[in-house]
């Protein structure tokens, strides 16, 4: 049984689907982020976090500050920042010892969710107590279950496999 999914009709008569929080929601203080770790929990939901989050390779509670990476004696740092390429931003983040939070983290969780929906509540990385270690190892233990979907299963395996790649750049 699927719960926490709302299907509604928009004004233009098209259907839309909204997926809710799966009962994990909590009220946050004004200055809190749902991605920031607290004393009692790690950032993100266990078993649904990207490997780089589990390893602590991304800073979830800090936005990458482009301005702190470059300075300008002329005072027009905005023109330099406009010229900074994505590769330069990544290099600056690497020099600081962390990678910046990217959409790749969300794509990983979405890949887990797609699998979960297609396989009626099964997780691509296995049982609850094995998930985090399987994620870090890059072992998608249940991917072969998609074979029961035939040709669509092959397409799902291809897409979900890319979304669950251990390499964030490959997602």
How far is 77 from 71, CA to CA, in rounded Å? 6
- Are 5 and 23 in contact by the 8 Å Cβ rule? The answer is no
Give the chain's count of helices (H) and strands (E).
6, 2
Who wins on pLDDT, 119 or 65?
119
Per-residue pLDDT tens for 53-98? 888 887 654 444 444 433 334 444 444 444 545 565 556 555 555 5
**Does the pLDDT value for residue 131 go beyond 60?**
yes
pLDDT for 1 equals: 55
Query: Reduced to 3 DSSP states, what percent helix, strand and coil does the chain have, rounded to the nearest 5?
Result: 40, 5, 50
Q: What percent of the chain has pLDDT over 70?
A: 56
Mean pLDDT of 21-29: 58
C-alpha Rg value of the chain to the nearest Å? 19
SS3 8: strand
- Kindly report the pTM of this predicted structure: 0.59
What mean pLDDT do residues 120-144 have? 95
Q: Are 91 and 138 in contact (CB under 8 A)?
A: no
Write the CB contacts of 97 (distance below 8 Å, at least 6 apart in sequence): none
Residue 37: partners with Cβ closer than 8 Å, 6 or more residues away: 43, 60, 61
């Amino acid at each position: 049984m699927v719960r926490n999914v709302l299907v509604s009709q928009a004004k233009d008569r098209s259907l839309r689907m909204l997926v809710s929080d799966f009962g994990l929601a909590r009220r946050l203080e004004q200055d809190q982020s749902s991605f920031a770790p607290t004393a009692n929990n790690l950032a993100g939901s266990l078993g649904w976090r990207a490997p780089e989050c589990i390893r602590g390779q991304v800073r979830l509670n800090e936005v990458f500050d482009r301005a702190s990476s470059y300075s300008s004696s002329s005072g027009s740092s905005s023109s330099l920042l406009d010229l900074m390429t994505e590769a330069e931003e990544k290099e600056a983040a690497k020099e600081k010892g962390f990678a910046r939070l990217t959409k790749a983290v969300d794509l990983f969780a979405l890949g887990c969710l797609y699998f979960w929906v297609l396989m009626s509540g099964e997780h691509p990385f296995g049982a609850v107590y094995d998930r985090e270690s399987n994620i870090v190892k890059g072992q998608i233990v249940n991917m072969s279950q998609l074979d029961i979907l035939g040709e669509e299963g092959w397409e799902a395996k291809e897409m979900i496999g890319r979304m669950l790649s251990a390499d964030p750049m490959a997602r």
